[in-house]
Amino acid sequence: MSKSDISLENHNSFLGDFKQLTKFGLSLSVVFSAIAGYLLAVDHINYITVTLLGIGGYLMVGASNAFNQIIEKDIDKLMKRTQNRPLPTGRYNITTAMTIAVSFTLLGLGILYTINEKTALFGAVSIFLYTCAYTPLKGVTPLAVFIGAFPGAIPFMLGWVAATNQFGIEAGILFMIQFFWQFPHFWAIGWLGHDEYLKAGYNLLPMGKRDKKAVIQIIIYSIMLLFASIIPVLGKTGSLYIYPITAAIIFLCGCVILFYAIQLYKDLTKNTAKKLMLASVFYITAIQIIYIIDKFLH
């Protein structure tokens, strides 16, 4: 192997680890949510703002993920799904990871501040809650999922705030939708990885174990999500409004999550939990696209 091949391999390895540290795929999904929120708020798209929101949003989430992995470096060694991350394997050291995390934080919040102060504020709140509240509480109480739902719910409404410099009822509804969505999504993940999480000292299920009581909580939050998602059809949420046909489509999408939640109650299997998790991913992506289509049909 030539020196150039070795150099390229090392570069690709570093880049792959960088993407893993910042959870590139997850970060992009968050950017998608933020841009969706922005598009719902505007009549004319400012592409400079969209670009700043996308870059700032990615840096914000990337920083949160990097801080998370720094804090959980030793715990990640205990679980199969995390033991090959850059820090547990030693491919990255703490200094490298911390440099990335701090740089992303400062640069990301600086970029969001150029949009407006409120956008930067919510970005800072998101990083703080995820890093300083959710992450340390994961090993203490299942309520950590509730705490983690707050930073997790910020992206959709962050786009609205970036567009309007206002946090009103419209942004509140977008926040509420993504807030309620967190529970069926992350409890499905918690169900799938329950045994692995226990090895690391985490118990993320609402009742502490895989049983019907836990699934009842999933069903309750799925119903709350379903109704929160169609509230704008009532015409009581400021400038955020959806047509009745749109509400019906969103309601049917929500019924898919509810269907798998009820199936999980019946069979308590990992296979159904996986279907529920995938249905939740489909749902949050689909309704954001549906909301945008509805907006531009007005």
Q: Domain containing 37 — which CATH number?
A: 1.10.357.140
- Other beta carbons within 10 Å of 189: 18
Same domain, 125 and 247: no
Number of domains in the chain: 2
Average pLDDT over residues 162-191: 95
Same domain, 9 and 81: yes
Query: Where among 142, 166, 190 does a domain terminate?
Result: 166
Nearest residue to 185 via CA among 75, 273, 84: 273
Place of tokens 């950017």: 31
Residue 234, pLDDT > 60, answer yes
Q: Output the pLDDT for position 6.
A: 43
Same domain, 242 and 207: yes
Residues 21-54 have pLDDT tens digits of 999 988 999 999 999 999 999 999 999 999 999 9
Same domain, 92 and 208: no
Query: Where among 166, 186, 205 does a domain terminate?
Result: 166
**Distances in whole angstroms, Cα of residue 277 to Cα of each of 68, 82, 173, 296:** 22, 19, 23, 30
**Distances in whole angstroms, Cα of residue 255 to Cα of each of 250, 258, 262, 263:** 9, 5, 10, 12
Q: Output the pLDDT for position 94.
A: 93
DSSP letter at 165 equals: S
DSSP letter at 66 equals: H
Contact predicate 261/218, CB 8 Å: yes
Same domain, 256 and 133: no
Same domain, 155 and 252: no
In residues, how long is the chain?
A: 298
Query: Where among 141, 166, 191 does a domain terminate?
Result: 166
Same domain, 152 and 212: no
Nearest residue to 295 via CA among 153, 159, 185, 178: 159
Tell me the percentage of the chain whose pLDDT exceeds 70.
Answer: 96
Same domain, 11 and 155: yes
Same domain, 136 and 4: yes
pTM above threshold 0.85: yes
Same domain, 157 and 11: yes
Same domain, 195 and 119: no
Same domain, 147 and 31: yes
More confident residue, 113 or 75: 113
Residue 118, pLDDT > 50, answer yes
Residue-number span of the structural domain to which 255 is assigned: 168-298
- Find the angle CA(141)-CA(183)-CA(247) to the nearest 5 degrees: 160
Measured in whole angstroms, how far is the alpha carbon of residue 46 from the centre of its chain? 25
Q: Output the pLDDT for position 12.
A: 63
